[in-house]
Amino acid sequence: MSTSCENGRLFVLLVALLLATASQTTAEPIKIAAIFSLSGKAAQSNKPAILGTELAVDEINREGGMMGQQVELLLLDNNSSPIGSHLAAEQAAAAGVTAIIGSVWSSHSLAIAKVAEKNNIPMIATNSTTPSLTAIGDHIFRVCYDDTFQGGVLARFAFEELEARTALVFVDIASDFSLNLTEIFNRSFQSLGGKIVREIEYKAGDSDYLPQVQEALAADTDIVFLSGHNESGVIAIKLQDAGSKATPIGSDGWDNAGFFISGGNKIRRGYYLSHWLPTHQDPRSRAFIEKYGHTGEIVAATALAYDAVQILAAAVTKAGTTDSTAIRNALHGLQGFQGVTGEIKFDAQGNTTKPASMIEIHDGVPSPHKQRISQ
């Protein structure tokens, strides 16, 4: 073969390589939105989920992206309100995102889900446990257990392990999460033979809770179920300081630094439920902690958000496209996805069955009481 022919072939190969490289570097990124509270009363409790989302996106991009395309993360502020969540979801839809991750609080996710479903955008909630969320439509998923499971586990734990027969319940009437969880807990506790002595209503942040605490002291019960978020730490310590002997118990709404800062770090003895513990010894958990344990507050919300992004990436890869219907179908069809928080498999309504971990607070310090509780 002549030198000129050989040179011509090399030239063609070089041009093809350059064109392929150029195509890869100029490919449009895949946009996904993450809608969380960057400001307002939920901002502190949302920080771990934001961290988990960012860790997963950075990792995916380092490893080549989704379908060879980099991921562009649009981190949107819901201003700690349902209205802000709706507006952020509208902003995400207008930006043409492939999917939405978030949010943490159930009232926020409910508002986002309505917009996502209307626009046929797959949405994966991280911590939102209200049962009605995934009923909004078939584009809505969650990587956490729901309140039907959570409320039942808490009631059974209180009745069987704490041997509680009477309960006082605090409910935030401005929170879908608190209202739904209270209803499920009350029904489950009573079905076991327990008695709800009194239900005390409040609105988070609207007062110093002293009138509610005084009302609670009139009820002599075995436990007090605090069904809210960070404000539960304030209420728990005020009850304790006022002389209440009832053991405080709570939900995954307690599982963040804000709860302990607000008063949880002074609770002599209490219990709450969580989705995951950094001390879990399975290989995925250990690898996650070894890789990211130094990056910030690693709690269940961090791992759940990380899992939400990773299972989205798996679905996009399986679908081989950013078409919303194909991604939705791929999410429904994924089997045996091994996440940090456990195996994730969505049912027909977008829910996943996950075990829980019971945490004991002793002199303000949380530690594992039971690492895995199944239905």
Note the pLDDT of residue 22: 41
Nearest to 104 by CA among 93, 112, 116: 112
CB pairs under 8 A, 24+ apart, for 84-88?
84/40, 84/108, 85/35, 85/109, 85/111, 85/112, 86/111, 86/112, 86/114, 86/115, 88/33, 88/35, 88/112
* 98 phi/psi in degrees, rounded to 5: -80, -35
Note the pLDDT of residue 140: 98
Inter-residue contact 122 to 327 (CB < 8 Å) = yes
- The reported pTM is 0.86
Side chain identity, residue 222: D
Average pLDDT over residues 47-74: 97
* 213 phi/psi in degrees, rounded to 5: -65, -45
Q: What 3-state class would DSSP assign to 223?
A: strand
Mean pLDDT (the chain) is 92
Residue 17 pLDDT level (bands cut at 50, 70, 90): very low
Q: For residues 304 and 119, give the distance between their C-alpha atoms in angstroms, rounded to a whole number.
A: 25
Q: Which domains does the chain have, with CATH numbers?
A: 30-145+280-344 (3.40.50.2300), 148-274+357-373 (3.40.50.2300)
Res. 2: pLDDT tops 70: no
Res. 348: pLDDT tops 60: yes
The gap from C-alpha 287 to its chain's centroid, in whole angstroms, comes to 20
Residue 163 pLDDT level (bands cut at 50, 70, 90): very high
pLDDT tens, residue by residue, 241-294: 999 999 999 999 999 888 999 999 999 999 999 999 898 888 999 999 999 999
Q: What 3-state class would DSSP assign to 30?
A: strand
Note the pLDDT of residue 280: 87
Average pLDDT over residues 295-299: 88
The gap from C-alpha 210 to its chain's centroid, in whole angstroms, comes to 31
